[in-house]
């Protein structure tokens, strides 16, 4: 009803820009340019194609964070712009990077596959600072690290550890796992196997998905048989990252059991049902900008651009090396609507963050689950801890920060 209030105003709207600024007066405007490059290979046809994934996931999150940065920056004489490229091929993505580097851009948010990501990091070199908002692969956090590459997207291991903690807390420890045929499915499943060992779960059966019938006609006939096992299980864990068959598992299991994993109740870095800790405001802003719900890629890109914004606010400068130093310093803390201050792991550049456990219309829980302890922070019970990772992207990272 009051939406148009601003238009009715006799206009006293005024910002006393730069009057009495706290940090040494207002010099010339500081221009901060951030590159956003996206390339997502075609996933191929899937059985469950009812609800398609948004193609601009990531991009819109970065755009929102640019707006947030500018709303803050207008009081400090700082202005942020996004140079975004959605490429159709890996070659195009590499060319876009080359072009943006030549234009003097040194800060990048990337939503590309893991292999492309490391190529781009090498191409950009030490002088740049890159944020991974598209690849969940554990290897990027355990072996293939780059000092100039940070990860705002949660890894597979962070997701599966969160899920495993929750299953442990519920004492649903005996599990049937079904794994799809893709490389991503295999990695997700491997990650869950690791989590099940860490958090005391048992896979009573571990079955690859091999059927190729159209489940929209035959799910009720095929899945009950497929989910028969010699031993009872408490829950079914599905590893189907692209959403091929997994949506047809719930309610079609042999035993009346809940479904968790990539379908059913899922661990997600971000989801529309997250509303606590001020998240409702972020969700509202995002919906206004993008006309859809915010997802994990959007959140990762948002967190990357906001990390830069937070550093620039404090530094009043946009040098990539200085920003990197600041992000790994004690002073950095990202307020990111998850109820905790977020920071980057010194050994592999992963953004620590709680993991919501959600079903499509509600929040079930949030990992780390209370009671899973860690000497540094309980958020480090999710994903690869320092001794479990070979990466040491900060030479002094052996010490706790």
Partner 1 sequence: MTTIVKTTALAAMIGLSVPAAASLAYVSNEKDNSISVIDTDSLEVVETIDVGQRPRGILLSKDHSKLYICASDDDTVQVLDLATRRIVDTLPSGEDPEQFSLHPNNRHLYIANEDDAIVTVVDVDSKDVLAQIDVGVEPEGMAVSPDGRWAVNTSETSSMLHWIDTTDFQIKKNIVVGQRPRHVEFSRDSKVAWASAEIGGTVHIIDVDSLEEIRQLTFSIRGVHPDKVQPVGIELTSDGKYAFVALGPANHVAVVDAQTYEVLDYLLVGSRVWQLDLNRDETQLYTTNGVSGDVSVIDVEDLKVIKSIKVGRYPWGVVIDPTS
Answer yes or no: are the C-beta atoms of 116 and 144 closer than 8 Å: no
Contact with partner 1 (CB under 8 A) among 99, 285, 293, 401: 285
Does 85 sit near partner 1 (CB under 8 A)?
A: no
> For partner 1, how many residues bind (rule: CB under 8 A)?
40
**Closest C-alpha among 136, 147, 148, 275 to residue 192:** 136
Burial of 388 (0-12, 13-18, 19+ CB in 10 A): middle
Site for partner 1 in 290-319 (CB under 8 A): 306, 310, 313-314
Angle at 29 between CA 26 and CA 283, to 5 degrees: 105
Contact with partner 1 (CB under 8 A) among 377, 385, 388, 392: 377
Binding range to partner 1, per CB under 8 A, among 12-20, 90-98, 111-119, 212-220? 12-20
Answer yes or no: are the C-beta atoms of 19 and 258 closer than 8 Å: no
Answer yes or no: are the C-beta atoms of 335 and 341 closer than 8 Å: yes
Torsion angle, CA of 324/329/335/338, rounded to 10 degrees? 100
Contact with partner 1 (CB under 8 A) among 141, 340, 345, 366: 340
Does 23 sit near partner 1 (CB under 8 A)?
A: yes
Binding range to partner 1, per CB under 8 A, among 7-15, 144-152, 222-230, 266-274? 7-15
CB of 9 to partner 1, least distance (A): 6
Distance CA 3, CA 192 (A): 47
Provide CB contacts within 8 A for 157, sequence distance 6+: 138, 141, 191, 194, 195, 382, 383, 384
Does 27 sit near partner 1 (CB under 8 A)?
A: no
CB of 90 to partner 1, least distance (A): 35
Q: Pick between residue 13 and residue 225 the one whose CB is nearest to partner 1.
A: 13
Does 339 sit near partner 1 (CB under 8 A)?
A: yes
Contact with partner 1 (CB under 8 A) among 89, 281, 329, 390: 281
Does 225 sit near partner 1 (CB under 8 A)?
A: no
Answer yes or no: are the C-beta atoms of 181 and 241 closer than 8 Å: no
Does 7 sit near partner 1 (CB under 8 A)?
A: no
**Closest C-alpha among 236, 130, 145 to residue 192:** 236
The binding site for partner 1 (CB under 8 A) comprises 1-3, 5-6, 8-9, 12-16, 19-23, 68, 71-72, 74-76, 278, 281, 284-285, 288, 306, 310, 313-314, 333-335, 339-341, 377-378
């Amino acid at each position: 009803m009051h939406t148009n209030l601003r238009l009715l105003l006799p206009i006293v709207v005024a910002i006393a820009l730069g009057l009495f600024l706290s940090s040494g007066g207002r010099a010339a405007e500081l221009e901060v340019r951030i590159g956003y490059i996206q390339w997502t290979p075609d996933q191929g046809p899937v059985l469950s194609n009812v609800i398609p994934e948004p193609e601009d996931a990531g991009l819109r999150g970065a755009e929102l964070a640019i707006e947030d940065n500018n709303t803050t920056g207008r009081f400090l004489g700082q202005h942020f712009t996004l140079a975004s490229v959605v490429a159709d091929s890996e070659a195009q993505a590499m060319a876009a990077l080359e072009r943006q580097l030549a234009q003097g851009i040194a800060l990048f948010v990337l939503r590309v596959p893991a292999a492309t990501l490391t190529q781009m990091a090498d191409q950009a070199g030490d002088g740049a600072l890159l944020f991974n908002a598209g690849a969940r692969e554990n290897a990027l956090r355990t072996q293939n690290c780059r000092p100039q590459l940070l990860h705002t997207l949660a890894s597979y291991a962070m997701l599966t550890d969160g899920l495993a903690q929750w299953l442990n807390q519920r004492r649903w420890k005996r599990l049937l796992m079904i794994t799809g045929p893709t490389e991503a499915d295999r990695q997700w499943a491997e990650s869950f196997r690791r989590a099940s060992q860490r958090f005391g779960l048992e896979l009573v059966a571990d079955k690859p998905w091999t059927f190729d019938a159209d489940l929209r006609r035959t799910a009720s006939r095929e899945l009950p048989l497929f989910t028969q096992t010699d031993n009872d299980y408490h829950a079914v864990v599905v590893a189907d990252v692209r959403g091929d068959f997994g949506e047809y598992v719930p309610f079609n299991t042999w035993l009346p059991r809940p479904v968790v994993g990539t379908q059913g109740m899922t661990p997600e870095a971000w989801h529309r049902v997250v509303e606590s800790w001020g998240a409702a405001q972020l969700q509202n802003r995002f919906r206004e900008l993008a006309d859809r719900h915010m997802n994990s890629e959007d959140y990762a890109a948002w967190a990357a651009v906001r990390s830069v914004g937070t550093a620039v606010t404090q530094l009043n400068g946009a040098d990539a090396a200085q920003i990197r130093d600041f992000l790994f310093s004690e002073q950095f803390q990202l307020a990111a609507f998850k109820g905790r201050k977020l920071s980057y792991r010194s050994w592999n550049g992963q953004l620590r963050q709680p993991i919501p456990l959600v079903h499509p219309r509600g929040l079930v829980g949030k990992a780390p689950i209370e009671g899973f302890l860690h000497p540094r922070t309980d958020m480090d019970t999710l994903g690869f801890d320092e001794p479990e990772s070979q990466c040491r992207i900060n030479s002094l990272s052996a010490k706790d920060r």
